[in-house]
Amino acid sequence: MIEFILAKYNYWIYIVLMMIGFYAIIVKENLIKKIIGINIFQTAVFLFYISIAKVKGGTAPIIWEKAGPYDNPLPHVLILTGIVVSVSTTAVALALIIKIYKAYGSIEEDKILEMKEETVPLSIKGSKKNSEHLTSDSMLYTDE
Amino acid sequence: MNLVSNIPVLVIIIPLFSAILIPVFGRISRSFGWYISLFATFFSFIISISLLNTVLTTGKISYRLGGWEPPWGIEYLVDYLNGYVLVVVGLIAFIVTVFAKKSVEKEIDADKITPFYSVYMLFITGLMGIIITGDIFNLYVFIEIASLSSYALVAMGRKRAALMASYNYLILGTIAATFILLGIGYLYMVTGTLNMADLSRRLPALYNSKVVLTAFAFFTVGISLKLALFPLHIWMPNAYTFSPSVVSAIMASTATKYGAYILIRIMFSVFTLDFDIRVIPFNEILVFLSSVAIIAGSVIALAQTNLRRMLAYSSVGQIGYIVLGAAIANQLAMTGGLIHILNHALMKGTLFLVAGSILYMTGIEEISDLNGMGRKMPLTMAAFTIGALSMIGFPLTVGFVSKWYLALGALDAGMWPLVLVIIISSLLTAVYFGRIIERIYFRDSIGAGEDSNQIIGQSGQSEAPMSMVLPTLILAGLCIVFGIAAFFPVSIAAKAANMLLGGG
Amino acid sequence: MEIIETAMPIYAIAVSLLAIIPIGLSGERNPNLRESWTITAAILKFIIIVSMIPIVLDGKVIEYSLITVLPGIDVKFRVDALSLVFAVTASFLWIVTSIFSIGYMRALKEHSQTRYFAFFAAAMAATIGVAFSANLFTLFLFYEAITICTFPLVAHNETPDAIKGARRYIIYLLGTSLAFQLFAIILTYNIAGTLEFANHGILAGKASDLMLIIIFILFIAGITKAALMPLHSWLPAAMVAPTPVSAFLHAVAVVNVGVFTVLKVLLYIFGTGLLYRLGISTVFIYFVSFTIIVASIIALRQDNLKRMLAYSTVSQLSYIILGASLLGRNGITGGIIHIAIHSFAKITLFFAAGAIYVANHKTMISELNGMGRKMPFTMTAFAIASLSIIGIPPLSGFLSKWYLMIGSIESGHAPILIVLVASTLLNASYFLPVVYAAFFKKLPSDEKSEIREAPAFMIIPIMVTAVGTLLLFFAPSLLLDLAGIVLGNLTGGY
């Protein structure tokens, strides 16, 4: 049993990491913490990719005269793309959270859900001319 | 390399470059955003038609990105299935863009119009890329491009609830994409390739491998989330309800379609029918899930008071139809499912555009305020009626064609209870659209709808501007045109179905 | 059987459909122009349809395929004898109903008259579409179109009551047709591979008996327009509509479409041979008899004149279905000619009810004492029509009852004779008191016995249809000839 776990330790690590991330996404009320959870969740998958690229005794995939067996470089490349995606997701999420904080005054999900939805009729926002004066976001989301 | 041979990549390049150009030109004038978008979607549409045309006459088109040989390089592959879906997405994108001008001016702050169109174009890029690519990792990247831009688009809604809707969508969307990424990883682990065609050649030998099963499981859950297959639909109603009208229209008619496309592509092109049926009873699970989706979507839609939310739940049910067709997996049902990709895009596009027009003219979102709307906006409401009749499955509309094929397919497969499912959902659809139609035509706005009168200022006609009415009517007209001349789209869908089911 | 390809059925349908445009354009500003369009379209339509009679009497069939929606599903028209019986009746009565509507709507200064006449024309186009359909798909298409087009007519008053009645109307009609009829059509297509009407049916030998019986039940449950009990209650509910609409519902379009569809399904989808072999027609005959009797009993207890007429319709429609399901020569003949005969009588009754309402604002039977003196023309017509429905010679109602009675003996269902006799007695006992009260009872003391007739626009249609019921008795040859051709085709080839 131990050997079974040890032999595939990279999988166990990624599964545990993934579950930690998943736990944070589901349980945490704080929106930022959820994003941290998402990051852990994604990183777990990245580690999984990197670990499957490893070849026993392999070196860095650089071609030179003494080149021996080398690790598969393709997953590394893929994960570079994956990291870019992950960073962008985080960026969008953080931007959203800033907006949410401005609109609701809180980033705790349970508190936000308790708040009643305000209505901003279209006519108040008005024509294009009007809305140019509305520079700050807080104007848009008038409190009740 | 001349331009003609590079046509497949242009579908993506054009919207991608316009996404970059829009902020540049947006510094000169805000109106450039719309013109560039219109231009880009129009050309994407034209190109997708020419691609489909080429596929229909000469067969598959394979395009090697950067000239690298598949399976090493990224391959763009157009066959009956994605050629068809490309045209659907291209058509809807173009029509919705025409509609967008006025609607966006009203619903989006002036200083955000340029970014809006830029992100909108990125979204189209993602959609087109998902559909055209033949490389599974490339697919993941495009899914993320489309998703990230749609989070931003949803967040531009004019209520603050849009932000939370977008946030929840982001969380679930990211989980879904990560699952898909994981599935890709597992497949790569055992096959060493990322090219879809190559995968489908190497996989059959490995069908009994647990790794392949795991990969398939991750794909299924991930895609179902993206597709909003009941019960994984929870992100969708809020996202559709609170996003700007244009965004809900384009997302309802295309975004769920790309989910359906990926599902069908993975189920039948990367894996094969043999795997879906023999190795695991996957079809039965999907038949069950989609039946539940069809009924549950309709029942929940019945309880809604917000027009767009009702349409969103109706979409949950309609997605069930597409998946049902794929899950029954015989020629007739598959054709029905595929043709529903087009048909649902047309109907839901119409209905969401109508919702957008109503919002534009009156600010009304609640169904209870729609009284007497038939007199105020006769053309828009005529389009709504056509869309609704089509949703019910009235003969000579597109809705009938899909349901007809699905029902025949279900009977062919000996699954007659599914016909009951389809019929019950049609009845429920008739109820939730019937009550709206009754309101808009047979109740006066005096009384219950006083607010709406105040906003309009008078009770006479106040039809939306031509740039909004026209695209709405065109989509509604297409609901009828493709319901009467159904043979043309059905023949393409039938070819795609035949190909997917292993008929070559 | 010679087939002639001509677009005449299309013209017949398109005439009233195209009339919607000028009707809409004329609008409320120019009511005279608008109404003249309605009348023109009605007369043109009648002429086109009548011009097809000689061709069909020659034993030929007119066919026209409009468009193929999907392989095996096309919009196709076929004019044969049965469709002509229905189409000629409907299109003739459309003319008189239009004239009557003008009188009614103007006398009451009704609102939204343009919408009314536009949807009237649309519903009429769909009715002829049903009459001329060559396959189940086309029939289903126009069947649903009628439901949709008549909804604004039924809900015309826009009062909460009207909306409620109209809602029940559409829920019953649309609901059952979507749930059962469409299901039956899908099953039929799945089994037979076609939806074309054929003289000996298309289902024989294609599926197990159980399956066929299921399809049969689905069809009967799905064709709610025939108002078979227990799915009849939409018809009294639809009485909220203005009276010309009720007349249209009861004599021109909706219910006739229902029984016509039942006949089509019985004769051309199942075929008499198959129905006989399955034995289901016997059960069905008694099921239908139940409706005949019970609806008459309910009619007996009504005080509202229009509701009484509604239940009378429910009962009379079942005569037609009964005739067809007797599966014998005389039975089928009786059923077919009863379509026309009942329409003429029932439309006269509804017109009379409308005229009474317009001229004297009476809706209850108990208020009709002495009405014969105030409205002699109307009440005479009313009396003629009720005698026809009861089946007293020399009125046409006698003819169909005669054929039905002979038919029931011929098919070996003698108990049906009792049903027919009982129903006749019941008919007599709910119609005769009205006629008696109108002519022999004294007017209430507070009313003057001066003549207060409805406008001429209403009286003329009433007289025309009342005379029609008489004429159909003395000159039924056209009807009988057409029925003969239907029978010839049904039995031919055996």
pLDDT tens across C185-212, in order?
A: 989 998 888 888 888 888 887 788 888 8
CB proximity C75 to B under 8 Å:
yes
Separation between Cα atoms, residue C175 and residue A95, nearest integer Å: 49
The answer to whether B and A touch (≥3 CB pairs < 8 Å) is yes
With the C-alpha atoms ordered C133, C138, C143, C148, is the resulting torsion angle positive or negative? negative
Nearest CA in chain B to C182: B423
| Span C31-62, pLDDT tens digits | 888 888 888 888 999 999 989 888 888 888 88
Residue entry with tokens 């990224």: B74
Residue C470 · residue C396 · CB < 8 Å: yes
Tokens of C341: 């005969």
User: What pTM was estimated for this model as a whole?
Assistant: 0.88
| Span C105-114, pLDDT tens digits | 888 877 778 8
> The domain containing residue B504 runs over which residues?
281-504
B413 falls within a domain:
yes
Selected for mutation to probe chain B from C163, C182, C210, C240 (highest B CB count within 10 Å) is C182
Q: Read off the DSSP letter of residue C76.
A: E
Q: Give me the pLDDT at residue A143, please.
A: 41
With the C-alpha atoms ordered B401, B407, B411, B415, is the resulting torsion angle positive or negative? positive
Separation between Cα atoms, residue C356 and residue C306, nearest integer Å: 11
B62 falls within a domain:
no
CB proximity C276 to B under 8 Å:
no
Kindly give the confidence (pLDDT) of every residue in chain B, 504 residues in length, as a single tens digit, with 9 standing for 90 and above: 456 677 888 888 899 999 999 988 888 888 888 999 999 999 999 999 998 988 888 888 888 877 777 777 888 888 888 899 999 999 999 999 999 988 888 888 888 889 999 999 999 999 999 999 988 999 999 999 999 999 999 998 888 888 989 999 999 999 999 999 999 999 998 888 888 888 888 888 888 888 888 888 899 899 988 888 888 888 888 888 888 999 999 988 888 888 889 999 988 888 887 777 777 777 888 899 899 999 999 999 988 889 999 999 999 899 999 999 988 888 899 999 999 999 999 999 999 999 999 988 888 888 888 888 888 888 899 999 999 999 998 888 899 999 999 999 999 888 888 988 999 999 999 989 988 988 888 776 544 444 444 444 444 667 888 888 999 999 999 999 998 888 888 989 998 898 888 765
B52 falls within a domain:
no
Residue C150, min C-alpha distance to chain B (Å): 13
Selected for mutation to probe chain B from A28, A80, A96 (highest B CB count within 10 Å) is A96
B420 falls within a domain:
yes
Nearest CA in chain C to B442: C158
C-alpha distances in Å from residue B394, one per residue of A105, B177, C126: 49, 37, 14
Alpha helices in C156-271 (DSSP H): 160-176, 182-192, 209-222, 234-237, 243-247, 254-264
Q: How many CB pairs under 8 A join B and C?
A: 70
Separation between Cα atoms, residue C367 and residue C377, nearest integer Å: 18
B60, with CB counted inside 10 A (0-12, 13-18, 19+), is: middle
DSSP string, B36-90: HHHHHHHHHHHHHHHHHHHHHHH--EEEEGGGPPTTTS-EEEE-HHHHHHHHHHH
B51 falls within a domain:
no
Task: Show Cβ contacts of residue C425 under 8 Å, excluding neighbours closer than 6 positions.
Answer: none
Task: Show Cβ contacts of residue C188 under 8 Å, excluding neighbours closer than 6 positions.
Answer: C136, C195, C202, C203, C215, C269
**Is a pLDDT exceeding 50 seen at residue C309?**
yes
Q: Read off the DSSP letter of residue B121.
A: H
Q: Read off the DSSP letter of residue C127.
A: H
Contacts of A78 in chain B (CB under 8 A): 137
The residues facing B133 across adjacent strands are B76
Residue B427, min C-alpha distance to chain C (Å): 6
Contacts of A92 in chain B (CB under 8 A): 148, 151-152, 170
Residue B157, min C-alpha distance to chain C (Å): 36
Q: How many CB pairs under 8 A join A and B?
A: 94
CB contact under 8 A, B174 and A38: yes
Separation between Cα atoms, residue C374 and residue C369, nearest integer Å: 10
CB contact under 8 A, B160 and A104: yes
Contacts of C183 in chain B (CB under 8 A): 419-420, 423
Contacts of B492 in chain C (CB under 8 A): none
Q: What would be the CATH architecture of the domain defined by A2-56+69-140? A: Orthogonal Bundle (1.10)
With the C-alpha atoms ordered C439, C440, C441, C447, is the resulting torsion angle positive or negative? positive
Taking any CB pair shorter than 8 Å as contact, residues of chain B touching chain A are 105-107, 109-111, 137, 141, 144, 148, 151-152, 155, 158-161, 163-164, 166-167, 170-171, 174-175, 177-178, 181-182, 185, 188-189, 359-360, 363, 455
Percent of chain C with pLDDT strictly greater than 90: 9
Task: Select the residue of B111, B174, B363 nearest A89 (Cβ to Cβ).
Answer: B174
Task: Select the residue of B427, B443, B486 nearest C179 (Cβ to Cβ).
Answer: B427
The residues facing C133 across adjacent strands are C77
Question: Phi/psi class of residue C247: alpha, beta or left (left: φ > 0; alpha: ψ in -120 to 50)?
Answer: alpha
Separation between Cα atoms, residue B18 and residue B12, nearest integer Å: 10
Residue B131, min C-alpha distance to chain A (Å): 19
Number of domains in chain B: 1
Planar angle of CA B97, B100, B105, nearest 5 degrees:
145
Residue ranges per domain, chain A? Answer: 2-56+69-140
CB proximity C154 to B under 8 Å:
no
CB proximity C70 to B under 8 Å:
yes
Indicate if ipTM > 0.90.
no
Of C306, C297, C300, C340, which is closest to residue C320 (Cα–Cα)? C340
CB proximity C187 to B under 8 Å:
yes
Contacts of B148 in chain A (CB under 8 A): 85, 88-89, 92
Residue B407, min C-alpha distance to chain A (Å): 40
B417 falls within a domain:
yes
Residue C175 · residue C202 · CB < 8 Å: no
Largest CA distance in chain C: 70
